[in-house]
């Protein structure tokens, strides 16, 4: 493989069993058992780990069927806020590689790395760097395919799942593609495959050597031409850079509408802690804190405030969110939901903070980073703030909310 690939170079990155991998990363006990993310008795399987897949459990399957196939399997409720935070961290990494990133989903993206080779090295080196950093920063794995076109890059990443890398040299395209079944070509679903089979075409090589006029008559002018071109590895579709929302947040809906300011304050702290933790996990800091309040009648209001410096510290995010809530001047208004979000995100290593003269060398951020390590080793509830444990402390508003260790030994 040459150090520089000529022409366009497209990288497809796909997280492996994303939801399940994220859950296993924050709860190591799940790594040795079959489990899926989704309902225990109702709903569908959103993602299954590879142990569960050996029993036949797969995404999109009814949870009841998953239970029949794998009676010992564990069903884990989904946490979409957390998945979004991990995804934001992964995409922040992509943005450091190229400004041409196209999200295909929360866990999948195309990157045009044509111009990145001069700065970051060969396509293989860039792909290995992505895999290593995703594993190091987010504790999950991804599969990477690199080729001169989008469809071929995606096919390459699918072939090496899980946790693999395949770089398709231009001279190897035909040898790779032509033995494959037609179902593996991008855009070939059951209906198209059935039509091709009726023409006696079962492999990509057979499609490639079929007159394009025949394919056009059978599939339509556009689809027939696309399939003919793709069977030879020709794909001129571009990676379209997108403006993605640059924020991380959390929200909670109360079991019952409440007008208790202490209960609201506790949940604001919980959401600030969750948001700050996800920011640290993603390697991001932010300056703008956004408060979201939904009332019993479903009307919703938001307020925002900007901090002096970017932060990922719970106390600082909570203090601003609490101040925003108090500024609303609510009197016995019944609240259904509250949320805390941080915008204006920047990588933590690029976030400059002006220390105060009387500020200690090590402060609350170092405490929270240490707590993050405990949580990573022993599970989500191994270390958390005392106010957020089941037993509510008296006078919880006094001083800085501390961190207590519960449910594990450090």
Place of tokens 């993206």: 109
Q: Is 108 a catalytic residue?
A: yes
Residue 51 CB neighbour total at 10 angstroms: 19
Place of tokens 């579709």: 237
Characterize 7-33 residue by residue with b for buried, 16 or more Cβ atoms within 10 angstroms of its Cβ, and e for exposed.
Answer: ebbbbbbbbbbbbbbbbbbbbeebeee
Of 151, 102, 111, nearest to 131 by C-alpha is 111
Alpha carbons 272 and 397: distance in angstroms, whole number: 15
User: Nearest-5° angle of CA 23, CA 25, CA 29?
Assistant: 80
What distance lies between CA 393 and its chain's CA centroid?
Answer: 35
Q: What residues have CB less than 8 Å from 82, skipping those under 6 apart?
A: 22, 26, 274, 278
Cβ contact 228:212 at 8 Å: yes
What letter would DSSP give residue 172?
G
- Find out whether the peptide bond into 248 is cis, omega within 30 degrees of 0: no
Alpha carbons 187 and 189: distance in angstroms, whole number: 6
Q: List the structure tokens of 275.
A: 């948001």
Characterize 125-136 residue by residue with b for buried, 16 or more Cβ atoms within 10 angstroms of its Cβ, and e for exposed.
Answer: ebbebbbebbee
Q: List the structure tokens of 16.
A: 């492996």
**107 among annotated binding-site residues:** yes
Q: Among 102, 108, 267, 368, which one carries the catalytic annotation?
A: 108
Burial of 345 (0-12, 13-18, 19+ CB in 10 A): buried
Q: List the structure tokens of 6.
A: 């000529």
Alpha carbons 104 and 86: distance in angstroms, whole number: 16
DSSP string, 277-336: HHHHHHTEEEEEEEEEEEETTS-EEEEEEEEEEEE--HHHHHHHHHHHHHTT--SS--EE
**81 among annotated binding-site residues:** no
Characterize 273-307 residue by residue with b for buried, 16 or more Cβ atoms within 10 angstroms of its Cβ, and e for exposed.
Answer: bbbbbbbbbbbbbbbbbbbbbbeeeeeeeebbeeb
Annotated catalytic residues are 108
**Residues annotated within a binding site for Mg(2+):** 14, 107
């Amino acid at each position: 493989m040459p150090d520089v690939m000529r022409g366009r170079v497209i990288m497809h990155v796909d997280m492996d069993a994303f939801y399940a991998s994220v859950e296993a990363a924050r709860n190591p006990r799940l790594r040795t058992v079959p489990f899926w993310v989704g309902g225990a008795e109702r709903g569908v399987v959103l993602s299954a780990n590879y142990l569960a897949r050996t029993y036949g459990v797969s995404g999109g399957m009814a949870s009841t069927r998953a239970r029949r196939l794998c009676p010992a399997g564990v069903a884990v409720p989904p946490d979409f806020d957390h998945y979004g935070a991990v995804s934001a961290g992964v995409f922040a990494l992509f943005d450091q590689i190229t400004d041409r990133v196209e999200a295909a989903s929360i866990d999948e993206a195309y990157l045009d790395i044509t111009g990145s080779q001069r700065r970051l090295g060969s396509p293989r080196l860039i792909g290995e760097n992505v895999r290593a950093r995703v594993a190091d920063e987010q504790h999950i794995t991804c599969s990477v395919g690199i080729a001169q076109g989008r469809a071929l890059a995606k096919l390459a990443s699918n072939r090496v799942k899980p946790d693999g890398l395949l770089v398709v040299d231009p001279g190897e395209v035909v040898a790779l593609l032509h033995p494959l079944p037609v179902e593996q070509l991008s855009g070939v679903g059951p209906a198209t495959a059935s039509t091709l089979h009726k023409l006696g075409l079962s492999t990509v090589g057979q499609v490639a050597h079929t007159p394009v006029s025949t394919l056009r008559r059978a599939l339509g002018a556009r689809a027939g031409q696309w399939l003919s071109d793709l069977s030879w590895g020709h794909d001129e579709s571009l990676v379209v850079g997108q403006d993605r929302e640059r924020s991380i947040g959390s929200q909670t809906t109360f079991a019952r509408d409440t007008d208790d300011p202490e209960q609201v304050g506790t949940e604001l702290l919980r959401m600030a802690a969750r948001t700050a933790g996800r920011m640290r996990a993603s390697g991001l800091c932010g300056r703008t804190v956004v408060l979201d309040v939904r009332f019993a009648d479903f009307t919703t209001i938001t307020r925002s405030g900007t901090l002096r410096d970017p932060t990922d510290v719970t106390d600082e995010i909570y203090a601003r969110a609490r101040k925003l809530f108090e500024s609303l001047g609510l009197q016995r208004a019944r609240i259904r939901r509250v949320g805390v979000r941080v915008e204006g995100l920047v990588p933590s290593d690029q976030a400059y903070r002006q220390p105060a003269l009387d500020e200690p060398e090590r402060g609350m951020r170092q405490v929270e980073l240490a707590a993050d390590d405990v949580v990573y080793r022993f599970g989500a509830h191994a270390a958390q703030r005392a106010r957020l444990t089941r037993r509510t402390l008296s006078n919880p508003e006094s001083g800085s909310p501390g961190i207590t260790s519960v449910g594990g030994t450090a």
